[in-house]
């Protein structure tokens, strides 16, 4: 197997890991005003992802860095052509991270309410815009002969891309609701299961429509299997959630996200950025790649360090595996402002 193909698979793995892990983070943030009806309940919701949310975001950084090193042409075209959407994601992630840290710095209901809104918005924007971005990558964008983006922001807001945004947003809400049902007990768990039973319907409608269009217009024979597997994951999630088997429900939503992303990357390969102006202007895993020597060095580095990162993050989840509820939240002691 050529190293360009190997690194396309590695980058697909990195993005898939990011969406699987950060997906429930975004879902928890979007559900904060829905499931957290008191300050204590909202603190429970935040505490379910408190030990892991920043580690989950590392996968985004690593995926972007890997694209820059392995496929610099792809990175340059993507991050310049999608400048405004990616800037919106970056700003949302910054605001969201600050909100997690500053929410408890002052014992003031209005202060906490503002940061709660920031967590909600900082989760909603990336959850939607990532779907828009990746749908456009699969669909193709107007690229000129120099591989530069020749379109406008309006070109990115086409119906297929917007449906992709709805798909990721509804999938992440469902993923987050199931995660909360798995991580909490008492009233919050009951509410989370109810929200999951509603969210799965929205995810099936949006995700099913998006994957069907993707398969018909851009898919390969093998992507019928991945798209069908994503649909089966949602069915497993719905049945398990109804039966109160949150662990299996989380496996189902996770499988749906993983297989949906796999469908997109498989449909895209060997292209990495198709052109809608002229197929010859598009970027492929060959003409966008770094030198073979660079890819060889990167491959050895990935082989050494990726397992270490995965083991460490898995250990973190194991340490913080227990359920929490409002009884675990101590009386508020506001921290001093820096």
H helix and E strand count, the chain: 12, 2
For residue 55, the model assigns a pLDDT of 87
Q: Are 173 and 194 in contact (CB under 8 A)?
A: no
Average pLDDT value for the chain: 92
Average pLDDT over residues 9-19: 95
Alpha helices of the chain — where are they, by DSSP H? 3-35, 39-49, 53-70, 72-81, 83-102, 109-139, 153-156, 159-183, 187-218, 223-242, 246-268, 292-319
Bridge partners, 324 (sequence order): 184
DSSP structure string for 208-226: HHHHHHHHHHH--TTHHHH
Rounded Cα gap, residues 251 and 257, in angstroms: 10
Per-residue pLDDT band at 337 (split at 50, 70, 90): low
Instruction: Tell me the pLDDT band of 311, cut-offs 50, 70 and 90.
Output: very high
Q: And the tokens for 325?
A: 């509820």
Q: Which helix H or strand E contains 333, and what residues bound it?
A: none
- Considering only residues 106 and 193, tell me which one the structure prediction assigns the higher pLDDT: 193
Position 336 confidence tier, pLDDT thresholds 50, 70, 90:
low
Quick: pLDDT tens for 150-166.
988 999 999 999 999 99
**The pLDDT of residue 318 is above 70:** yes
Kindly state the percentage of the chain with pLDDT values over 70. Answer: 98
The Cα–Cα gap between 280 and 295 comes to: 24
Residue 105 DSSP symbol: G
What is the Cα gyration radius of the chain? 20
**What is the model's pLDDT at position 332?**
63
Per residue in 124-143, pLDDT (tens digit) is 999 999 999 999 999 999 99
Q: For 184, how many CA atoms within 13 A lie in the half-sphere containing its CB?
A: 31
Q: What is the pTM of this model?
A: 0.93
338 confidence band (pLDDT: 50, 70, 90): low
Reported confidence tier of residue 335, pLDDT bands at 50, 70, 90? low
Give the pLDDT mean for 24-51.
94
The predicted structure's pLDDT at residue 305: 87
H/E element holding 283? strand 283-284
Distance from C-alpha of 198 to C-alpha of 210, rounded to nearest angstrom = 19
Q: Round to whole Å and give the CA distance between 178 and 200.
A: 10
Instruction: Please write the tens of the pLDDT for every residue from 255-275.
Output: 999 999 999 999 999 999 999
Is pLDDT larger for residue 23 or for residue 105? 23
Which pLDDT tens digit goes with each residue over 78-115?
A: 989 999 999 999 999 999 999 999 998 888 889 999 99
Cis peptide before 270 (omega within 30 of 0): yes
């Amino acid at each position: 197997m050529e190293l360009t193909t190997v690194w396309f698979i590695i980058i697909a793995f990195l993005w898939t890991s990011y969406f699987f892990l950060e997906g429930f983070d975004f879902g928890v943030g979007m559900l904060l005003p829905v499931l957290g009806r008191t300050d204590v309940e909202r603190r429970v919701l935040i505490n379910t992802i408190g030990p892991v949310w920043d580690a989950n975001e590392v996968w985004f950084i690593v995926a972007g860095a890997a694209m820059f090193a392995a496929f610099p042409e792809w990175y340059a075209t993507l991050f310049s052509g999608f400048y405004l959407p990616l800037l919106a994601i970056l700003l949302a992630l910054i605001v969201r991270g600050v909100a997690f840290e500053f929410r408890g710095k002052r014992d003031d209901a209005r202060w906490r309410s503002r940061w709660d809104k920031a967590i909600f918005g900082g989760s909603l924007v990336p959850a939607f815009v990532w779907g828009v971005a990746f749908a456009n990558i699969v669909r193709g964008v107007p690229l000129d002969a120099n591989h530069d983006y020749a379109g406008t922001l309006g070109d990115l807001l086409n119906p297929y891309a917007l449906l992709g945004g709805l798909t990721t947003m509804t999938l992440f809400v469902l993923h987050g609701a199931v995660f909360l049902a798995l991580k909490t007990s008492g009233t919050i768990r009951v509410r989370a299961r109810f929200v999951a039973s509603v969210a799965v319907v929205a995810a099936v409608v949006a995700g099913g429509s998006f994957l069907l269009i993707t398969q018909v217009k851009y898919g390969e024979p093998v992507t019928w299997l991945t798209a069908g597997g994503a649909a089966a994951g949602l069915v497993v999630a719905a049945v398990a959630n109804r039966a109160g088997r949150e662990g299996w429900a989380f496996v189902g939503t996770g499988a749906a996200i993983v297989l949906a992303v796999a469908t997109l990357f498989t449909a895209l390969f060997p292209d990495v950025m198709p052109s809608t102006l002229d197929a010859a202007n598009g970027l492929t895993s060959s003409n966008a790649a770094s030198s073979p020597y660079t890819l060889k060095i990167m491959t050895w580095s990935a082989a050494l360090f990726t397992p270490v990162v995965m083991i460490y993050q898995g250990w973190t989840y194991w340490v913080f595996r227990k359920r929490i509820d409002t009884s675990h939240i101590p009386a508020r002691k506001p921290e001093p402002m820096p």
